A and B are shown apart, each in its own frame.
Chain A
């Protein structure tokens, strides 16, 4: 386990950029080493909604865990602002691919309270904060429920609330809607876009859906597998849109953008 490290004071509302320099990551497994990422160089500007898009196994989760500080790269360095990332920090929250990362022995509100407890927030303040976060993800009515009693989409919202409760500078989301049905997914996409627009935090969002990438991202990094590489990097226009998600989806420029991106990926 890695200890917490001081990465300097966080400039609130500015959001420092994350930089990945020449990062290669290799897993040692029984079947021999697996190169999950090779020669990654990317810059993730503060305050943007960056989407990591790529097929299964291209190293998206690995890259996210490296940014979170949960893994140390085999070679290369990662920085946030001018500090090097050497371990996990509460300033970089993570919404896990598996909702089993919630603590099943706790209620929804106690799960959301976890980070606040860890950081020693007094009880009164904590209560207020939990109420706000639950409100934000529309889970107020389920505060007392066990997380095992929630639906998949509610569990992911609970994870998002837990991560946001400590007010992180960066929120990393690993395919948070991957296991959900299309309708639930659409409503959560709208929520996550609203939350990003509201908080102005740096979001790094992993998905393997081209549509989701174009819909939510202000920028997309396309990755390819074996070895994991970033093969394309492009700005996207819809992240700041205010109209309902369904309208964006019907927008011909949106449809075109998806087409182009898909063709781009196919060409590789």
Chain B
């Protein structure tokens, strides 16, 4: 006799490793390697390699400073020395916060404008035909291409930088919201219609919640894009600012500070993305499970 066919989904022991325990409705297996192990191991490996490379001394310290030099730069950046605070006149956290605050404002405006715009694009075909090409056009421009225009219009202070970030961030947000509206499952819309929903109720009860995962995806893309943009934007009048600090090092050949900035930007960006993903788990945890 042939064994009975396995008709249940392969979700338990034999599930592929990329199917998370949560998706399978299980606890993470006990006694397995804790989740913090991997990032710690990865960091250790990179720093170890870096240290080994500098210890061998193939390159001069100017080209590849050692971990301890970068650490020294870090200490300088958070303390007062020679009567001046930190580096380039500001402490490290002031630089970082200046950049973050620009990003937060730019991306917040992008959310406020981009999400409703995306909804309108997705819900209203004629508007999509009209405004869709404009948004696509904006998205395809490298932001720094129009930065000088913004400086001419808004001056060299923060305003032009926030505008730049806003313009960089709003297109990915509105396009992914529009795509989310378009991919709302028709049977869910129909389900609300046969329960008596009017158009506004369909949007409120079905379309808006359906779009949340796409909104968050758009937000992640936008924040990533904003980081790449801000660092470049801070090359002009960007102090305080972590990108401005990184750029200023070239005059004094402070490669240790440049590396410090890269590390700080990287860690901050990763933490920010992690935060958004936690938010996603909470509010869009259903996504991908159905």
A→B interface (CB under 8 Å): 1-4, 65, 68-70, 88-90, 92-94, 96, 98, 100-106, 114-115, 117-119, 146, 148-149, 162-163, 166, 181
Contact = CB atoms under 8 A, between A and B. Distances in A.
Given A98-B187, A101-B188, A68 B194 contact: yes
Contacts of B188: 100-103
B197 A118 contact: yes
Contacts of A68: 190, 194
B154 interface: no
Majority SS of interface residues in chain A? loop
Contact of B189 (A1, A93, A115): A1
A14 B74 CA distance: 82
B205 A2 contact: no
Nearest to B212: A105
10 contacts: A1-B199, A70-B190, A70-B193, A88-B196, A89-B196, A100-B187, A103-B191, A103-B206, A105-B209, A105-B284
Interface string B179-217: 000000101111111111111011001100100100000
Contacts of A4: 196, 198
B38 interface: no
A94 B188 CA distance: 11
Interface in B212-238: 212
Contacts of B201: 118
Interface residues of B, number: 26
A162 B195 contact: yes
Contacts, number: 86
Nearest to B209: A105
A166 B196 contact: yes
Contact of A100 (B185, B198, B284): B185
B190 to A, nearest CB: 5
B129 interface: no
Interface of B: 7, 25, 185, 187-199, 201-202, 205-206, 209, 212, 284, 286, 289-290
Instruction: Classify the secondary structure of B's interface with A.
Output: helix
B198 A104 contact: no
A88 B196 CA distance: 7
Contacts of A3: 198-199
B290 A100 contact: yes
Contact of B194 (A70, A98, A103): A70
Nearest to B289: A148
A69 B187 CA distance: 14
A103 B209 contact: yes
Contact of A148 (B192, B212, B290): B290
B202 A1 contact: yes
Nearest to B203: A1
A245 to B, nearest CB: 23
